[in-house]
Amino acid sequence: MSTFDGLDLDEATGKDWGAFTRRLADRLAHGTAEITLCPAFVPDDRRRPTMTFRRTPSDTIACTTTALSAPVPPWAHDAESSTNVVEKPAAWADHLAYLAVGEIRTVWGVTHPAFLDGDEDSRGAEAYDPTTAVTTDREDELERVVLRCLRNVTGLDVELSADKSVAIMLGLVTAYVYVAGPTEVRIHAPVVERISGRTRAAELVADLNRRHSRLKFLLVDDRVHVAASVDAQPLVPRHLDAAFHRLAEFVMRVDASFADHLGGVVAYTGPDPRPEPDFTASDDDAHHDADCDVPPDLLALLELDSAAEGAVDVELVVSVCGQDRTKIAGYEAFCSDQARSWRECALEAEERGDTDAMDEYEAEAVPWDRIVATLRLTLRTAAFFDNA
């Protein structure tokens, strides 16, 4: 076994080939452009071999390589072009990548993917140094560093989406990594959704922030997100690697019991393992269970206010709630309690010096305050009520 200063070179080389094979398989499965590989260095007296991958109209991938030896099945020899060929369905991209890497290592004698040319991803991955700090004000350069880091960390050929984020599956939850500006890279993942009791959830989120000081938990609408931030001035890939692993370690432990404790369900973005819902209960019962925390009429007002700030006026309150003074007074008391709960959470956050959480909780109280003001105005507008 080859070792050097405690490093197992055989194991490290095997891991690098494994990462290269996964990247190649991912490019073959999702890309359509032709890919060409060849050794970066060959003796002067030898012809440089090449390997080409081409997607066919029948949705297969044909791999053609210079014939340096008699082919071993499933490789077949093409005498006319003096090449060896293997063709597999696109769905078998993993198997084809495995066959190709085996040919490169055993027949070509290439000892490490760093010694391959013609494949930008393999060379980029090898050039990646997690300890090298990158200082730049250009977000596109930061995005390239983020991509190199995430490809190295995950072994996947991840790409930027249209919104300039990188989506990575962590179990059944998706994490998103993006450059938030020239000074910051952010990682976030929605972990719990469809939360019914927001007041209790806010208290639990505040507790999570106290217990996990290097992660940030946010309650946004009916979802709980976990996030991490990395300083980008300068950006050190190792710091991004560490932050990603911290977040991933937490997300991979999220399960149904954790979500239930928060009053919601896991924010699944992969195949949903939950059992099919039981439709034996009546639709009315199901509707009541779903909205038992907030009365349906009040929920409608909150949604209208969320869609357009200030859209809820006296006339709209009466059209949604009817001319029932008792009901509207009950809604006013409910909203006042909600606003007070959020402000208490903000006060606790201020006392522990968490200004970000304080601002978040204060913002959550604002729509409740707006509805309270409108409901009180409605109660004072006698013209909208019958003589009752």
Identify the DSSP state of 2.
-
DSSP 165-211: EEEEEETTEEEEEEEEETTEEEEEEEEEE--S-HHHHHHHHHHHHHH
Chain-wide mean pLDDT for the chain?
Answer: 78
Q: How far apart are the first and last CA of the chain?
A: 92
- pLDDT one-digit tens code per residue, 183-194: 899 998 999 998
What is the pLDDT at residue 177? Answer: 93
Cβ proximity of 205 and 264 under 8 Å: no
What is the pLDDT at residue 65? Answer: 92
What is the pLDDT at residue 278? Answer: 41
As a whole number of angstroms, the distance between CA 97 and CA 53 comes to: 10
- Cis peptide leading into residue 234 (ω within 30°): yes
What is the pLDDT at residue 120? Answer: 45
- pLDDT one-digit tens code per residue, 126-135: 455 778 888 8
pLDDT range class, residue 280, cuts 50, 70, 90: very low
Name the nearest CA neighbour of 53 among 80, 93, 111, 108. 93
Strand 60-66 and strand 51-55: the pairing is antiparallel
- pLDDT one-digit tens code per residue, 222-234: 889 999 999 998 9
What is the pLDDT at residue 133? Answer: 86
* Neighbouring residues of 318: CB distance < 8 A, sequence distance ≥ 6: 378, 384
What is the pLDDT at residue 91? Answer: 83
pLDDT at position 5 over 80:
no
What is the pLDDT at residue 180? Answer: 87
* Neighbouring residues of 315: CB distance < 8 A, sequence distance ≥ 6: 384
- pLDDT one-digit tens code per residue, 148-157: 888 877 766 6
> What percent of the chain has a predicted confidence (pLDDT) above 70?
82
Min mean pLDDT across 13-17, 102-106, 264-268, 315-319 is at 315-319
As a whole number of angstroms, the distance between CA 147 and CA 66 comes to: 32
pLDDT at position 53 over 90:
yes
What is the pLDDT at residue 274? Answer: 41
- pLDDT one-digit tens code per residue, 292-315: 356 777 777 777 777 666 667 777
Name the fold adopted by 139-266.
Yope Regulator; Chain: A, (3.30.1460)
As a whole number of angstroms, the distance between CA 327 and CA 336 comes to: 14
Long-range own/partner contacts, residues 197-201 (CB < 8 A, 24 or more apart)? 197/263, 197/293, 198/222, 198/293, 198/338, 198/364, 199/338, 199/341, 199/342, 200/263, 201/262, 201/263, 201/264
What is the pLDDT at residue 381? Answer: 64
As a whole number of angstroms, the distance between CA 239 and CA 185 comes to: 10
What is the pLDDT averaged over residues 276-294? 40
What is the pLDDT at residue 185? Answer: 92
What is the pLDDT at residue 87? Answer: 92
pLDDT at position 259 over 80:
yes
Name the nearest CA neighbour of 49 among 62, 67, 76, 63. 67
pLDDT at position 7 over 80:
no
Q: Which of the two residues, 229 and 379, has the higher pLDDT score?
A: 229
Q: What is the model's pTM?
A: 0.43
